[in-house]
Structure 1
């Protein structure tokens, strides 16, 4: 596998964001900015199961951001560090700091929500990949986030069999900073279905066959001006472990 490199970018409120890079260095490969899902990290979503290595082997440079309050990035406890759409501001700052002029953008779950909103805020990737996301998942975030905030608030009370048990166990495995993540959850903004008309670049919507956590992925692809839907094996949690996810991303970005 290509050598992994890590650097840090300073963003909103001085927070340091970890950026992991795998693939041909500086100009040697086409950049792909990858944004992971909630409670996860670049390591878990993109590196551990080989997706970044597949991109590197195909001639891309995988540029993977640890979202604020995740992975090796800062997790401030000051509410002022989490203004509205702070993850979008972070993505724009990383693109600006790294000087990414021509690049592709790929997200999973919360990373997909962030990718959509970053495009609406002005990012112009050549191609866009939205993983683990359906049409309904882009809107009404308060309803979705309240589940995770509840899991954080009840963290010590949750038992096996409770609805929040899987989220609790994943937070434990990733050593999530629950104070910072709770603040972050309250900073995410919604995207209305009609706004998707503004996302005109070719877009892959790739989702697990058993994943309906964020609504209908085929409906999301149909709502986009140039959307394509691809089904891969797995649930919302397990689809990132499947080689088919990386294969679908590489195939789409190589077209």
Structure 2
């Protein structure tokens, strides 16, 4: 196994063509990976080494390109991007593959989608890894309207907002549909209440970089959940924490405990 993207397949759900890969050990326990905003299955999970890490450990590694991202269809209607809706895409992928359940792991927006999945479809979730999102799941992650403005600006040179520039540059680097992303960012930030988080009663790991200024405290989020623990990813910000070796080691140990 290497860091090149595996072959992608696609399936239809909710009127959209959605791309995914299904790799690793076919006989292994399935792990479904859900990527973050403006990213893709390849950018979030293949290039940072997650596919190799999990595949080498004997897992079946499945990852979806969320609607609006990667090789999946990219509608421009904001109403199509609520996290509950995108969680439905992930469940539909499990259905498509004939899988009753899987370990679910998401990063950033993907963590939010994963939490909505666990809340709405608890019997499909063996365990939950929430990366790059802590108590911001409940309290919000700041003002993201400038991100949408940055995505729709004529060029990167027109963007002065620091976080806006970061995401605009990332979107250009990943050759994303900026209009679809602007639609997505406006509705994909629905919050979960502390009471809802308390109902997510599966083994869970909440992992956030210590220099992440977006996610909020992983300890505060984990404290709301009956079977969750927190992990600080030392010295990493929101963008760099995703591929960190401390994060990978903790996830493998977490899964080993559940075996």
**TM-score under structure 2 normalisation?**
0.88
Displacement after TM superposition at 1:53 (Å): 0.9
Name 1:220's counterpart in structure 2: 221
Displacement after TM superposition at 1:78 (Å): 5.0
Name 2:174's counterpart in structure 1: 174
SS in 2 for 1:186: helix
Output aligned runs, 1:234-249, within 5 Å. Answer: 234-249=236-251
Q: Per the alignment, do residues 112 and 67 of structure 1 end up closer, same or farther by CA in structure 2, a change over 3 Å counting?
A: same
SS in 2 for 1:206: strand
Aligned counterparts of 2:11 and 2:167: Cα–Cα separation in 1: 29
Name 1:132's counterpart in structure 2: 132
SS in 2 for 1:85: helix
Displacement after TM superposition at 1:160 (Å): 7.6
Equivalent residue pairs, number: 251
Q: C-alpha offsets along residues 154-184 of structure 1, whole Å, 9 cap, x if unaligned?
A: 3526458632221111111011101111222
Aligned counterparts of 2:57 and 2:18: Cα–Cα separation in 1: 26
Q: Is the 1:50–1:246 Cα contact (8 Å) retained in structure 2?
A: no
Q: Is the 1:205–1:220 Cα contact (8 Å) retained in structure 2?
A: yes
Unmatched 5+ residue regions in structure 1? none
Q: Is the 1:49–1:243 Cα contact (8 Å) retained in structure 2?
A: no
Q: C-alpha offsets along residues 7-57 of structure 1, whole Å, 9 cap, x if unaligned?
A: 112111x211111122112xx110000001100111111111211111111
RMSD: 2.2
Aligned counterparts of 2:138 and 2:86: Cα–Cα separation in 1: 15
Name 1:97's counterpart in structure 2: 96
Output aligned runs, 1:23-38, within 5 Å. Answer: 23-25=24-26, 28-38=27-37
Output aligned runs, 1:77-116, within 5 Å. Answer: 77-78=76-77, 81-82=80-81, 85-116=84-115
Bigger Cα displacement from structure 2, 82-91 vs 238-247: 82-91
**TM-score under structure 1 normalisation?**
0.90
